[in-house]
Amino acid sequence: MRAIILAAGLGLRLQQPPEEQFPKCLLSFDGVSLLERHLQLLDAAGIDDIVIAVGFKPERVRDELERLDCDPFPEMVLNLDYQLGSVLTVHTVAEALTRGGDVLLMDADVLYDARMIDALVAGTNVNRVLLDRGFEAGDEPVKLCLKDGVPVEFRKQLAVGLDYDTIGESVGFFRFREDTARRFAEIVAGYVDGGRSNMPHEEALRDLLLEGHHPFDIADVTGAPWIEIDFPNDVARAGNEVLPRLQRTVGVTR
């Protein structure tokens, strides 16, 4: 199983002065960067085939990996046009998506509990998406809507009158079987070839989920602590509310 970590973005919404900006995956909590936590949790799950999609200040990410003395050293793939949409970042790692085997696709800017990795990697021959039904309402969460267990929408904004029986927030972590990963890469390539490189990769994921040819298992992780870090108040919440609740994992939390 291979993990692809999307860590190319600039994180403008953190409102840092330009001279202080750095990749969000290097945000540190209790002395441990988000990237280090990703790597430690993946290692605990037995996954050491790791690809990191970088863009903004990639040398800072490499410095962190060298500091961690990673072995094997994660593969770094550079998206020079990282300021466009994240769909282009996914397209940049298309080879890693399609080289064979199951693939995990993970946002880098998430502080999360080890149980989420456990839910993601459990079992064999499965596509999986993580769902948190305890999300806060608003325009920011990417919402996954289900009808009889089948995805019917995957967007921040929902159409009026949408018919669903379950709704939750996507954690931003996905598992693809080999054939599904290839199909996702094809959808992403269609976005890029069609002049839609500025789109978020969630739109391509929506197409994959809703076309129905590759059924997805829905892993309900409601109650497990996690937070996606986009805004300054997210940093404060991550340190004050989420970090103290994380399940203890050797080498990760203190």
Q: Which pLDDT tens digit goes with each residue over 68-97?
A: 999 999 999 999 999 998 999 999 999 999
Q: Which pLDDT tens digit goes with each residue over 105-132?
A: 999 999 999 999 999 999 999 999 999 9
Q: Which pLDDT tens digit goes with each residue over 229-252?
A: 988 999 999 999 999 999 654 344
pLDDT for residue 241: 95
72: preceding bond cis by omega (within 30 degrees): yes
Q: Which pLDDT tens digit goes with each residue over 127-150?
A: 999 999 998 888 889 999 999 999
CA distance 185 to 162: 28
Q: Which pLDDT tens digit goes with each residue over 2-56?
A: 999 999 987 666 756 666 789 999 999 999 999 999 999 999 999 999 999 999 9
User: Residue 157 pLDDT more than 80?
Assistant: yes
For the chain, percent of residues with pLDDT exceeding 70: 94
Structural domains of the chain sorted by starting position, each given as residue range(s) with its CATH number in brackets: 2-245 (3.90.550.10)
Phi, psi at residue 36, to the nearest 5°? Answer: -60, -40
Kindly tell me the burial class for residue 54, based on how many C-beta atoms sit within 10 Å of its own C-beta (0-12, 13-18, 19 or more): buried
Model confidence, pTM: 0.94
Rg of the chain over all Cα atoms, to the nearest angstrom: 17
CA distance between the termini of the chain? 28
Among 8-17, 24-33, 188-197, 199-208, the range scoring the smallest mean pLDDT is 8-17
